[in-house]
Structures are given as C-alpha cells and as structure tokens.
Structure 1
Amino acid sequence: MGECSQILLIILAIFLPPVAVFLKRGCGVDLLINIILYILTASLLAIIHALYVVFQ
C-alpha cells in the first residue's frame, strides 16, 4: 500500500504540486512556499519543490 501512495504523490506533485505537499506535510510552511512558487514561477519550481518534499 505504501508504494501505491508514493506513486500517487509523485503524480500529484507533477500535476498539482500544492496538493501533493499538503497531503505529505499538511498545512504548514512547506505548503506556503509551494503555493508561492506555484503562483510566481508558472509551476516549474513548485513541481521541483513538491518532488523534493515527496522524496524526502
């Protein structure tokens, strides 16, 4: 079951980075950083940040 949820988090990190960060870390600083990156950089840096959070 853990492997399946990890794959789903990776897919979410690519298409909806803030959702993946929220599911992994909850509502906190990482989510705020990711939302700001998503708004400011047309999601490229947000995807990188979300993948970092998911793999961490």
Structure 2
Amino acid sequence: MKVVKVILSIFLPPVAAFLQVGVSTHFWINIILTLLGGIPGVVHALWLVLGDKTA
C-alpha cells in the first residue's frame, strides 16, 4: 500500500495526504500547497507518506 501512496503523492498529492491522515490539518495544508504550485504539495505528501505521519 505504501507504493500506491508514493505514486499518488507524485500525481495526486491531496489524495495521498487524505489516505494517510484523513481530513485533518495536514490534508488542508497539502491542498493549499498543491494549489500554490504543485511541487510543494508533492513534497509535503511524500513527507507525510514516507515519514509515517498518522495525525
């Protein structure tokens, strides 16, 4: 499942953030970062998925 989340982090960062932490502050931060340029959202999503953040 982690491989799927990493792939989603690259192509659909908010979806990967949602699957990792649900609707929480990190999810909303990821949406804002993705809207601000894409790459910051990807980095944040990868950080969430690979860092095993759960909340």
Task: Decide which structure has the larger Cα Rg and report it.
Answer: 1
After superposing on structure 2, the runs of 4+ consecutive aligned residues of structure 1 that deviate more than 2 Å are none
Equivalent in 32, 44, 47 of residue 52 of structure 1: 47
> Residue in 2 aligned with 1:33?
29
Q: What TM-score does the superposition give when structure 1 sets the normalisation length?
A: 0.88
Identity over aligned pairs, percent: 43
Gap regions ≥5 residues in structure 1: none
Superposition RMSD in Å? 0.4
**Larger relative helix fraction:** 1
Give CA deviations for 1:1-56 in whole Å, capped at 9, x if unaligned.
xxxx0000000000000000000000010000000001112x10000000000011
Which stretches in structure 2 are left out of the alignment for 5+ residues? none
Separation in 2, partners of 1:8, 1:40: 24
Q: Give the count of matched residue pairs.
A: 51
Local SS of the residue matching 1:10: helix
